[in-house]
C-alpha cells in the first residue's frame, strides 16, 4: 500500500502484521491449492495455472479474513517467510535431539503451523536422511544391518551325528578320530608321491634374449638419433641465416640503384630547368 508524500512521490505504507487466524487461513488455503502452487514445472502453462490459483486463493482469503485486504504479492511473501521459519524450527529441533551435555532437552520450537507447512512441502523442510551420516536413524528404510560371517566351516553330517554330549562336552568317538587321521595321512601321501609335478625353481628366461643388452642397444640408438636430429636442425638454421643474408644484400643493391636513378633524374630536370630559363 502507498500514499502520496508532501513532495508528490508515492510513500510506502506498511500493512498490519498477519494475525494467528490469518496465518492458519493462509496455510489451509495453500494446502487446498498445493498441487498447483508447489508444482516444480515453470513452463508457460504451469505459470498461468499458478497465477490463477493465487488469484483464487487471494479472493477466498479476503472473503474469510475481512480485517485487512491482502494482495497476491503480500500473501506470497508471507508464505515464503512461513516456510523459512518452519525449516529453521525443524532444523533446530533436530539439532537439539542430537545435542550432548546432559540435562533436560530443550523444548521443541516446532509449532502446529510448521507441521501443516511440512505436510504441504514434504521433505523440503527436513531434507532427505543420509544413511552415511553419524546422526542417521536406525529405522531408515534403506539402512541395512550387514552381518559379516568370518571363518565358516562346513562339517560333514556323518561326523556331526557322532558327537557325544553325555557330559556336557562335545567329544568325537574313537572311530571318527581314526577316520580323520587316516584321511589326513592319505592326503599327505598323495601330494608327496612322485607322480605329482613339483614347482619349477629354475629362473625364467626372457623370450627375446638378454633384456639388459636390448635396453642398452635401444638407448644407444636413441642417443644417435638425437645427435642426428641436432645436426639437422643446426644445418637448417645455417641455411636460413645464409638465405636471409642474401636477401638483405639484394635489397641493398636495389635501394642503391633506385637512389642512382633518382639522382640522375633530378640532374636532368635541373638541366632542363636551366635551359628553359635561358
Count of beta carbons in the 10 Å neighbourhood of residue 121:
15
Taking only the tens place, the pLDDT of each residue in 183-220 is 777 776 666 665 555 555 555 555 555 787 888 889 89
215 inside domain: no
Neighbours of 53 (CB within 10 A): 19
Establish if 140 belongs to a structural domain.
no
- Residue 25 in domain: yes
Answer yes or no: are the C-beta atoms of 39 and 46 closer than 8 Å: yes
Between CA 184 and CA 176 the distance in angstroms is: 12
Of residues 187 and 60, more confidently modeled = 60
Residue 250 lies in a domain: no
Per residue in 248-277, pLDDT (tens digit) is 999 999 999 999 999 999 999 998 988 888
- Would 170 be classed as within a structural domain? no
Residue 38 structural domain = 15-96+109-124
Cα 237 to Cα 234: distance, rounded to the nearest angstrom: 5
Confidence at residue 153, expressed as pLDDT on a 0 to 100 scale: 40
In a domain, residue 242? The reply is: no
Phi-psi region of 164 (alpha: psi -120 to 50; beta: other; left: phi over 0): beta
Query: Number of folded domains in the chain?
Result: 1
Helix, coil or strand: residue 164? strand
Residue 84, domain member (yes or no): yes
Task: Tell me how far CA of residue 269 lies from CA of 4, 109, 255, 256, 261, in angstroms.
Answer: 90, 109, 21, 20, 12
Instruction: Quote the pLDDT of residue 7.
Output: 63
Rounded to an integer, what distance in angstroms lies between the CA atom of residue 241 and that of residue 247?
10
* Residue 252, all three cell numbers: 641493398
Q: Pick from 134-138, 158-162, 214-218 the range whose average pLDDT is largest.
A: 214-218
What is the greatest pairwise CA distance in the chain? 159
CA dihedral angle for residue 28, residue 30, residue 36, residue 42, rounded to 10 degrees: -160
In this structure, is residue 244 part of a structural domain? Answer: no
CA distance 186 to 190: 6
CB-CB contact of 90 with 125 (8 Å): yes
Give the pLDDT confidence of 109-133 residue by residue, as tens digits: 888 888 888 889 887 776 666 555 5
Amino acid at each position: 500500500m502507498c500514499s502520496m508524500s508532501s513532495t508528490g512521490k508515492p510513500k510506502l505504507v506498511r500493512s498490519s502484521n498477519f494475525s494467528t487466524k490469518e496465518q492458519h487461513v493462509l496455510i489451509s488455503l495453500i494446502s487446498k491449492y498445493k498441487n498447483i502452487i508447489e508444482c516444480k514445472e515453470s513452463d508457460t502453462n504451469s505459470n498461468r495455472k499458478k497465477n490463477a490459483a493465487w488469484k483464487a486463493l487471494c479472493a477466498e482469503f479476503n472473503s474469510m479474513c475481512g480485517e485487512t485486504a491482502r494482495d497476491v504479492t503480500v500473501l506470497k511473501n508471507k508464505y515464503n517467510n512461513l516456510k523459512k521459519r518452519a525449516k529453521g524450527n525443524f532444523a533446530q529441533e533436530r539439532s537439539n535431539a542430537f545435542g550432548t551435555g546432559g540435562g533436560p532437552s530443550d523444548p521443541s520450537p516446532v509449532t502446529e503451523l510448521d507441521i501443516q507447512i511440512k505436510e504441504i512441502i514434504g521433505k523440503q523442510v527436513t531434507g532427505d536422511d543420509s544413511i552415511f551420516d553419524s546422526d542417521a536413524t536406525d529405522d531408515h528404510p534403506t539402512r541395512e544391518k550387514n552381518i559379516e560371517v568370518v571363518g565358516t566351516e562346513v562339517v560333514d553330517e556323518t561326523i556331526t551325528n557322532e558327537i557325544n554330549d553325555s557330559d556336557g562336552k562335545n567329544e568325537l568317538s574313537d572311530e571318527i578320530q581314526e577316520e580323520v587321521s587316516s584321511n589326513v595321512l592319505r592326503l599327505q601321501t598323495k601330494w608327496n608321491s612322485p607322480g605329482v609335478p613339483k614347482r619349477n625353481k629354475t629362473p625364467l628366461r626372457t623370450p627375446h634374449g638378454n633384456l639388459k643388452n636390448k635396453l642398452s642397444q635401444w638407448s644407444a640408438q636413441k642417443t644417435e638419433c638425437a645427435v642426428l636430429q641436432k645436426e639437422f636442425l643446426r644445418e637448417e638454421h645455417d641455411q636460413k641465416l645464409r638465405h636471409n643474408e642474401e636477401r638483405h644484400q639484394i635489397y641493398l643493391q636495389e635501394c642503391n640503384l633506385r637512389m642512382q636513378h633518382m639522382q640522375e633524374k633530378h640532374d636532368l630536370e635541373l638541366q632542363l630547368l636551366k635551359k628553359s630559363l635561358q
